[in-house]
Amino acid sequence: MSFTPAVSETGDPLLLTPGPLTTSKQVKSAMVRDWGSRDAAFIRINRDVLETLPKIIHGEADFVAVPMQGSGTFAVEAMLTSFVPRQGKCLLLINGAYGHRAKKILDIAGRATLVHETAEDAPPDLAEVDRLLAADPSITHVFAVHCETTSGIRNPVEATAALVARHGRRLLIDAMSAFGALELDARVTPFDAVAASSNKCIQGVPGLGFVVCRKSALAETKGNATTLVLDLHDQADALARTGQYRFTPPIHVIVAFHQALQEFLAEGGVVGRGWRYADNARILIEGMGALGFTPLLQPHLQAPIIVTFHMPKDPAFVFQRFYDELKARGYVIYPGKLTVANSFRIGCIGALAAREMRGAVKAVEDVLAVMGVSLTAPRAA
């Protein structure tokens, strides 16, 4: 069989994963320098990054971006433990692993919680959320995940935000895998903070989380934090006063993130990037569908970020072999993380476009043939 493996510009397999993901060569090249953390050029680059982030949610007037060294979870933990006061109570809308992680963070921090959980392929029941908020005035905050990467579901943040605001409560959003690709407009969608990271839809390398915070809400969080490192109020305060981080920043990551943001803006921001990812998802779902795979989610619930497919029932389909054969052809996919169904996932984000997605579908077809798996029902004669 003559199959030319796909490779990125640096000769590595393409990552069809939800991040870390395939980055551009320019993003990687931005890191081959040494910078001092007090270097004026670095401080300028960092300031530029922080000034750009609120604009992505149209929040430049009322919001400030507070960076947090570490992966995305560091930013989520910083957001939850800085914004939910010690006497506060947070209602968590859970339909996947990242919702459960937020609950664990609040449990460890000793914050009171209430959980509204739906199946991994179902959005929250907002009528029930309405009842929960009405019944419990002690709830101060609501936590929602924009795209729950566990399944790839797009949760209704706009409707959730309107509901939470109607009850006079505060909304905190984990938009890790959505920020920069799914529209979130702070001018019309009320929330106090949104957490994301360098290595998802902005297409940087991993190592920097950030929380875009409503300035007036952040000002009320002084003294809330239960850790020194994850104190967003203190981090924001130090940056505003000195332009510097309290502790060593991941300089190379930030410089690469700056380059990734330039490429994001050049592509047309959320509109341009969202369009490319939607096109990637369409090619993937149509192509995999033609091969006989079924996605977990109904089309109206599917975010164009990562697609979960049901594992085929054919005993000849062994996932590890499928994974290894795809990797040998230059495509790295992602195992499933669901409890509702046996599944695997293929990401649509990163420096990948129609050509790479078509290549991935072709590789899947090739691997199925090699494995002797046939998924399409035989045609009626």
Ligand X SMILES: *Cc1c(COP(=O)(O)O)cnc(C)c1O
**Residue 177 contacts ligand X per CB under 6 A:** yes
Tell me, letter by letter, the H, E, C secondary structure of the chain: CCCCCCCCCCCCCEECCCCCCCCCHHHHHCCCCCCCCCCHHHHHHHHHHHHHHHHHCCCCCCEEEEEEECCHHHHHHHHHHHHCCCCCEEEEEECCHHHHHHHHHHHHCCCEEEEEECCCCCCCCHHHHHHHHHHCCCCCEEEEECEECCCCEECCHHHHHHHHHHCCCEEEEECCCCECCECCCCCCCCCCEEEEECCCCCCCCCCEEEEEEEHHHHHCCCCCCCCCCCCHHHHHHHHHHHCCCCCCCCHHHHHHHHHHHHHHHHCCHHHHHHHHHHHHHHHHHHHHHHHCCCECCCHHHECCCEEEEECCCCCCCCHHHHHHHHHHCCEECEECCCCCCCEEEEECCCCCCHHHHHHHHHHHHHHHHHHCCCCCCCCCC
**Residue 73 contacts ligand X per CB under 6 A:** yes
Q: Decide whether 176 or 236 has the Cβ nearer to ligand X.
A: 176
Q: Decide whether 67 or 359 has the Cβ nearer to ligand X.
A: 67
**Residue 250 contacts ligand X per CB under 6 A:** no
Out of 144, 176, 296, 303, the only residue in the binding site for ligand X (CB under 6 A) is 176
Q: Decide whether 132 or 201 has the Cβ nearer to ligand X.
A: 201
- Contact mark string toward ligand X, 93..132, x via CB under 6 A: -----x----------------------------------
Q: Decide whether 180 or 312 has the Cβ nearer to ligand X.
A: 180
Number of residues near ligand X (by CB under 6 A):
13
Out of 174, 192, 234, 325, the only residue in the binding site for ligand X (CB under 6 A) is 174
**Residue 180 contacts ligand X per CB under 6 A:** no
**Residue 18 contacts ligand X per CB under 6 A:** yes
CB of residue 237 vs ligand X: minimum separation in angstroms? 24
**Residue 23 contacts ligand X per CB under 6 A:** no
Out of 59, 72, 336, 347, the only residue in the binding site for ligand X (CB under 6 A) is 72
Q: Decide whether 64 or 102 has the Cβ nearer to ligand X.
A: 102
Query: Footprint of ligand X on this chain (CB under 6 A)?
Result: 18-19, 71-73, 76, 98, 145, 149, 174, 176-177, 197
